[in-house]
Amino acid sequence: MMKGRLYCIGLGPGDPELVTVKALRLMKECSVWFIPQSGPDKETAGQILQAAATYAGEDLQDSKTIVKLAFPMTRNEDILEEAHRKNAEMIEAYLDKGENAALFTLGCPTVYASCSYVERRVALAGYDTQIVPAVTSFCAAAAALGTTLCEKDEPLLVVPANRNDLAELLDVPGNTIIMKPSSGNDKIRTLLEEKGLISRASMVQQCGTKEEKIFSSLEETVPHTYFSVILVKKEESI
């Protein structure tokens, strides 16, 4: 029997209208949907998936096999490795039956996406896989702020907030995107103030969702959440 193919599909930042045409097509074509969970009540990708299907005028879920995969929110490498192994094995079991499967993820699977570790495992096990890109959260955040990420020959640096060398990275020429800043709220604010960049920093929370909040300046203290993006524009745009 011919084995099925795994599609690792990005759903974008949260707005169902930003889900790509290709993602919608594969939603229809794949008989099995794998939806990530980071906790019992946290199915952000699943919520976007349902909204996108509804927006497209499709009632798809009744005709699909839906499997929830656990992606624990931890930095313990042993726990993560075990979770990725189990998830890959669950996916492979369906591919062995000849079924094409979709593994969905919030954002784009090429940018800090946990699903990429599982897709890589499945590919290394000899299965056919394909990564389907999506609109990134930082592109959508810049659009929400009404600005650009970079112009002309400006470089753009994308860094996770938990980097120990964040202070040094903020000295790199060009504009900076800081991802997932909830892990270091005070640290980031202090660094931006020390480097005279606080007035050039803006943030979008829950971009593209009903809970979206836009902060054009971080000069006033604002709460951070895991689904936040900070943009530091170090050079004036003309």
Instruction: Examine the domain organization and report whether 222 and 142 are in the same domain.
Output: yes
User: What are the start-end ranges of the H helices in 7-76?
Assistant: 21-29, 44-55
Q: What phi and psi values does residue 171 have, to the nearest 5 degrees?
A: -85, -10
Domain with 220, as residue range(s), is 137-232
User: Strand, coil or helix: what is 92?
Assistant: helix
Whether 131 shows a pLDDT value over 90: the answer reads yes
The confidence score (pLDDT) of residue 41 equals 43
The tens digit of pLDDT for each residue in 37-80 reads: 875 445 567 777 777 777 666 666 667 899 999 998 888 999 99
**pLDDT, tens only, 6-27:** 999 999 998 888 999 999 999 9
Q: 77 and 16 in one domain? A: yes
Asked if residue 70 and residue 173 are part of one domain, the reply reads no
First to last CA, the chain: 60
What is the pLDDT at residue 58?
63
Q: Could you tell me what percent of the chain has a pLDDT over 90?
A: 64
237 within some domain: no
Based on the fold, state whether residues 125 and 153 are members of the same structural domain: no
User: What average pLDDT does the chain have?
Assistant: 88
Regarding whether 179 and 84 lie in a shared domain, the answer is no
Same domain, 98 and 205: no
* Domain end (from 73, 103, 132): 132
pLDDT tens for each residue of 135-158: 999 999 999 999 999 999 999 999
Q: What is the pLDDT of residue 40?
A: 45
Question: Is 183 domain-assigned?
Answer: yes
Is residue 193 predicted with pLDDT exceeding 60? Answer: yes
Same domain for 39 and 157, yes or no, is: no
Please tell me whether residues 92 and 203 are part of one structural domain: no
CATH code for the domain of 21: 3.40.1010.10
The answer as to whether 222 is a domain residue is yes
Q: Tell me whether residue 49 is in a domain.
A: yes
Q: What confidence tier does 238 reach under pLDDT thresholds 50, 70, 90? A: very low
Q: Which of 32-41, 78-87, 203-212 has the highest mean pLDDT?
A: 78-87
Q: Are residues 128 and 176 in the same domain?
A: no
| CB count in 10 Å sphere of residue 37 | 16
CATH of the domain at 205: 3.30.950.10
Q: DSSP assignment of 144-182, as one string?
A: HHT--S--TT--EEEEETT-TTHHHHTTSSSEEEEE-GG
Do 41 and 154 lie in a common domain? no
| pTM of the full structure | 0.89
Nearest-angstrom CA–CA distance, 146 and 148: 7
If asked whether residues 45 and 96 sit together in one domain, one would say yes
Q: Which of 132, 150, 174 is the last residue of a domain?
A: 132
The reported pLDDT for the residue numbered 83 is: 95
Domain contains 27:
yes
Last residue of a domain, one of 132, 148, 171: 132
Report how many domains make up the chain. Answer: 2
- Residue 125 within a domain: yes
Rounded mean pLDDT, 165-186? 87
Q: Evaluate whether residue 238 is within a structural domain.
A: no
The answer as to whether 209 is a domain residue is yes
184 and 221 together in one domain: yes
Residues 44 and 9: beta-carbon distance below 8 Å: no
* Centroid of chain to Cα 226: 11
